[in-house]
Amino acid sequence: MLGTSLVPRMKSAGYEVHEVPRSGTVTTNLADYNQVEYLLDNICPDAVVNLAALTDVDKCELYPQESYIINVRIVENLSTWILSRPHICQLVHVSTDHVYDGTGPHKESDVTLTNYYAFSKYASELAALQANAVVLRTNFFGPSECPHRLSLSDWVKRSIALCEAFTVFDDVLFSPLSTNSLCAFIIQVLSCPHPGLFNLGSSEGLSKADFAFTLASELGLPTTHMIRGLSSDTNMIAYRPNDMRMDCSSIQKTYGIILPKLTTEIQKLRTDHSWKSSV
């Protein structure tokens, strides 16, 4: 889902982008090292931005081997190729805030792994760092440009439009960025990479319930059918962390940036007319 937003922005910034789609007439099995080697030897990229991941938390819990193959082996293959070639290639690997739990905001060292998805993404980080990668632990929202894939903000908007009761969680805290901000920062990383592991999110996070109500308020949408509830009252297969808020002081210092407040990021959606007019 992130790739469909990032690729056109990278092209607009002047990058020559070679996409490796999930499906289509020409694909590469990134879990097969021979195919990865053939692909990258032909392209000889200056950088690889890895967005390949199995992000369905419950599916990762039910199928840990598939979770490993997609979330870890692919990164192992990319790192192996980069380390085996004299040509310098920068790896930028997108990870997750699911590696945190307990009271936040969390620094990069405050890892608590509570499900197979988090475990596989943490293992992928270790593989990426072997190749001197830039690893970004993040979360994002905003209009999805990927057919049949909804972001959290898309889901809230569609649920309101359906006029059916739905629950938003008071006990799950996070600090995501808007898609636009995340894409802009990835492009900044590519222009001047500083290898290492970084939290990348908004400041002063919110509960998912407060996020949903703030989003509805900013867009002038009704909240009649929105119900505050607790994730602990649901029957999800995998445990979800309750507090994924991140301390992003390290990346702000390293890259000389000031990250926006989450409420400010939500407010920016008011000017996204294409998203406001869609359902």
Torsion of CA 80, 131, 51, 202, to 10 degrees: 170
| Residue 51 reports pLDDT greater than 60 | yes
| CA gyration radius, the chain | 19
pLDDT of residue 149: 82
Per-residue pLDDT tens digits for 205-214: 999 999 999 9
- Separation of alpha carbons 92 and 102, rounded Å: 27
* Domains of the chain and any CATH numbers: 2-273 (3.40.50.720)
pLDDT of 273 higher than 60? no
Residue 173 φ then ψ, to 5°: -110, 140
| Residue 177 and residue 202 in contact, taking contact as beta carbons nearer than 8 Å | yes
Scored b (16 or more CB within 10 A) or e, 235-256 reads eeebebbbbbbbbbebbbeebe
Region 200-223 average pLDDT: 95
